[in-house]
Amino acid sequence: MRLDKFICKSTDLSRAEARRAIAAGEARVNGEVITHEAAQVHENNHITLAGQRLVPRPFRYLMMHKPAGTLCSNVDGVYPSLFRWLHIDKPDELHIVGRLDADTTGLVLLTDDGRWSFNITRPEQHCAKVYRVTLRDPLAEHVAPRFAQGLLLQGETRPTLPARVEPAGPREALLTITEGRFHQVKRMFAAVGNRVESLHREQVGNVRLDLPPGQWRSLTSDEVAGV
């Protein structure tokens, strides 16, 4: 982690204040004064600021029920950022693990632990994401075997990893995928001649959404460990 980020994670200083303190020679790493704000440090290093030993706050892991018409982004855009619903200290330290489209609702995970989010999002991890999909047309019988086999999405050369789909109502389906390609669910149904009318993420790994829209909570240690 960068030294300026480490200082922010261990104190109430903003990034700009941390950089000023570093430039002023107040930061030491293992006894050596470091004036380069981007110097890489490790939490096992002995890091002090103005003589005080710094200990980073524990990582945070949250779930949120993303309402429709919100952006999975740290800043507002065409729609408001879902961070508006996140009344928490230092929200800018958090990032979103696996974004959803503006019109998609459901489970969003947030953290400041980059290693944890990397593990969830890399396809080799095969972390299952479960989506409840409302379709324009009923789920055709030929779709489940095609999704199970993997199919080529428009403009791509690598087929999708095997996915499971089952009917959940007259025009509703439950889809489980282990990747997170751009607009993947909508493009998968488009590739088999159907259309997604609405999309809701219910589960990521063993973490199941259990909150009303706009609400958030910390994950339990079991959820963090098992995702």
Which residues in this chain contact ligand URA in the complex, by CB under 6 A?
100-101, 104, 183-186, 199
The least distance separating ligand URA from the CB of residue 111, rounded to whole angstroms, comes to 18
- The C-alpha atoms of residue 152 and residue 172 are separated, in whole angstroms, by 23
The least distance separating ligand URA from the CB of residue 6, rounded to whole angstroms, comes to 33
Q: Is 101 a catalytic residue?
A: yes
Burial of residue 128 (CB within 10 Å: 0-12, 13-18, 19+) is: middle
The least distance separating ligand URA from the CB of residue 16, rounded to whole angstroms, comes to 34
Catalytic residue, from 76, 92, 101, 112: name it. Answer: 101
Which one, 56 or 98, has the nearer CB to ligand URA? 98
Which one, 9 or 66, has the nearer CB to ligand URA? 66
Which one, 5 or 146, has the nearer CB to ligand URA? 146
| Active-site residue list | 101
